[in-house]
Amino acid sequence: MFFLVLCVILTLSNIQNTHKLIEDIEKNRRQELNPNISVDCVIFGFDFDKLNVLVIDRADGSRLPCALPGDLIFNHEHLDHAAIRVLEELTGLKNIYLEQIGAFGDPNRISKESDQSWLQKVREQPQARVVTIGYYSLVKMENYLPQASSFAKSAAWIPVNKITELAFDHMEILDAAKQRLKQMINIRPIGFNLLPEKFTLSQLHRLYEAILDKPLDKRNFRRKIQKLELVKNLKEKQFGVPHKPSQLFMFDGKTYEKLMQTGINNFGF
C-alpha cells in the first residue's frame, strides 16, 4: 500500500517536474532571445508571370496586416543563421540561402498601434527598441507550399504589386529588397533560383521583365543572354502546349560560378 502511494506520488511529482522542466526550457529559450535585434526575410518567388513575396498572417482576433517572416534573434546566434532559422520556423522553408539587405533602425518602426498590441502578446519586452536586419532570397515556388507555424497563422505567396500594407516598417524592407533585386539582376546571374531546372527563354524573359518592371525587347534579350553562355540548350521540346513548343534550357553551372564572382557589369572603367 505504502509502495503504491509512493509510486503515485513519484509519478505525480515526475509529471510536475517534467512540466516545470518544459517550462524552464521554454523560458530559457525565451530568455536567450535578444530583445533588441531581429531579422526579417523577403522571399521572392516567380509564377511564370509575376513576382510574388512570402508573407505571414499573424494569428489574432483583430485584423492585422500581413508581415514578412521575421523574429528576434538568439544571443548566441549568427545573424545569417538566425534569418535561416526564423524563416523555417515561420514558414517551413528550409535551408534557404539568404542575402543581407541591411539594417532598419528607425526607433519608431515598431510603434504602430496594431503592431504594439500584437507585440504585447508575443514579446517579453514589447516596448524594447528593435533594430531589424533585412534579408532576401529567391526560391522556386514549385518546390514550396507555404506551411505556417509558430506565431504565423498562415503563410502565403502574394504578388509583389498587390501588396499595399505590411506590419511595422516591412513595406520599407520590401522596397529595399525589390530595389536590391533590380540591381543584382544586372550584376549577377540570379534567375537561376527562381526557375525550375528546365525552363524556356521566354520564361526567363518574363522573369527579367517582372523584376525590372519594364518590357524588354525579345530578340535583344535572347541574344544578350545567350552570349553570356549562362544557359545551355537541352535540345528538348516542350510538350502539350497549344502553340509552337519551345526549346528547353538549363543554367550552366560553370559559367554561373564564374559570373557570380566576376560580375556581369560592363560599364566600369
Q: Say if CB 134 and CB 173 are below 8 A apart.
A: yes
**Cβ nearer to DNA, comparing 151 with 221:** 221
* Strand bridging mode 231-237 / 99-104: unpaired
Are the C-beta atoms of 174 and 53 separated by less than 8 Å? Answer: yes
> Among 17-25, 49-57, 105-113, 232-240, which window interacts with its own copies (CB under 8 A)?
105-113
Residue 97, interface with its own copies (CB under 8 A)? Answer: no
CB 45 within 8 A of CB 52: yes
Give the HSE-up count for residue 27: Cα atoms under 13 Å, Cβ half-sphere.
Answer: 6
114 vs 246 by CB, closer to DNA: 246
Which x/- pattern over 125-154 shows residues binding its own copies (rule: CB under 8 A)? ----x-x-x---------------------
| Candidate segments 13-21, 161-169, 215-223, 239-247, binder of its own copies by CB under 8 A | 215-223
Q: Which stretch binds DNA (CB under 7 A): 15-23, 79-87, 154-162, 244-252?
A: 244-252
**What is the C-alpha separation between 164 and 112, in angstroms, rounded?**
16
Which residues, 6 or more positions from 159, have their beta carbon under 8 angstroms from its beta carbon?
Answer: 50, 51, 52, 53
CA–CA gap between residue 130 and residue 108 (Å, rounded): 9
* Among its own copies, DNA, none, residue 200 binds (CB under 5-8 Å by kind): DNA
CB of 186 to its own copies, least distance (A): 4
Binding its own copies by CB under 8 A: which of 20, 29, 30, 78?
78
Give me the residues that bind DNA (CB under 7 A), please: 200-202, 217-220, 222-224, 227, 237, 239-247, 266-267, 269
